[in-house]
Amino acid sequence: MNREEIKGVLPHREPMLLVDEAHRESDESVGSYTVRGDEYFLQGHFPGNPVVPGVILCEMMAQSGCVLFSDALAGKTPYFSGLDKVRFKRTVVPGDTVVFRCRVTATKGPFYFLSGTGYVADEVCVTAEMSFALVI
């Protein structure tokens, strides 16, 4: 999916749409985002040394992961309901393309539980466990 197709699945819009491409591979979603350097979240983080904030990396990963349950999203909004075991392994800076791999680990009613890992050039930059509630 390109950005326009992703807009058909996710309710996010610029400047909060933080995935450029996404697709399913077997039981995983794979999403990516290339950091251009002009994003709002880099303006003060940090002047002269821009680094993508960790919370933004988590949002990028979450949006990439939502592709896994896109069929269930029709008419619903995926709300983050939990974020656990987050680890940051390297910085992400302008020019980096982050590739996120996520998989569903469990479902219960309207809740989806995922694990995800983000990579820059095959080097892990972030890992986390996430949960979402699909709400009408």
Catalytic machinery residues: 45
Q: Which three-class secondary structure string do you get for 105-120?
A: EEEECCEEEEEEEEEE
Question: Phi, psi (5° rounding) for residue 113?
Answer: -115, 130
53 token code pair: 């904030």
Alpha helices for 1-136 (secondary structure H): 3-7, 54-65
* Contact by Cβ (8 Å): 100, 68: no
Closest Cα to residue 26, out of 102, 128, 122, 120?
Answer: 102
Name beta bridge partners: 119.
99, 124
3 token code pair: 């950005």
